[in-house]
Amino acid sequence: MIRLYLILLTFFLFLSGCAQRIDPQTSLYVDWKAKLSAQNTWQVEGKLAFISPDERQSANLNWQQQDDLNQLVLTSFIGTRVLALKQDAQGAELEYDGDTYHDTNAAQLLNRLTGFTIPMDSADDWLKGTVSNESLQVDELGRAKNVMWQSLNGQKWHISYGDYQQYAGFWLPKRLTLKHQNIKIKIQLYQWYFNEHD
């Protein structure tokens, strides 16, 4: 009788597992941080707020990286494109206010034309929460909580991670705040996409 019960239980568990179509990618990788760090093709959608003593601006963001191409597109809440910023090995390009501008560094180009500051370089590390240096503080699950990070142009940023979501086998940041002097950038991330072949 017990044997029959166990067989039936196993059968029903198997059926329920089939019905749910559980994707193994939804379970957390044991080495999720190393795998996430190696993901160099990704896209994320969310919103961003830029806060300084003089102004406060907010926009929807679409941030993409593919190998050495890093692209940030900001749109208004009604869908109008505010700017598109690209950085690759050849330099930076900014589409803003109907014109296109070029420079060697995306963050400097953005700041010069808009007054808006965001560290584009190494975004692959700090945006995914895989940044690592001696200042890094992590929570009990090994996820980044706070870190002091220096951009290529020498700016020092304090980055704090407020919340995470589990997706595609990784822990991914949902909310983070960057502070540099009297500038604060608040980022909320809704949806991540990864290249399944990475």
Least confident of 24-33, 81-90, 109-118, 158-167: 24-33
Cα dihedral sign, 96-106-162-66: positive
- pLDDT of 79 strictly over 60: yes
**C-alpha separations of 156 from 8, 117, 118, 120, 149 in Å:** 61, 12, 11, 13, 6
pTM for the structure as a whole: 0.81
Least confident of 20-29, 57-66, 109-118: 20-29
Q: What is the pLDDT of residue 107?
A: 87
Q: What is the pLDDT of residue 39?
A: 92
User: Domain coordinates of the chain in residue numbers?
Assistant: 32-79+116-194
Class of domain 32-79+116-194 (CATH, top level): mainly beta
Kindly state the average pLDDT of the residues 65-81.
92
The distance in angstroms from the start CA to the end CA of the chain is 49
Res. 41 pLDDT band, cuts 50 70 90:
very high
What is the pairing mode between strands 156-167 and 170-180? antiparallel
Q: What is the pLDDT of residue 196?
A: 61
Q: What is the pLDDT of residue 61?
A: 96
The DSSP letter of residue 130 is -
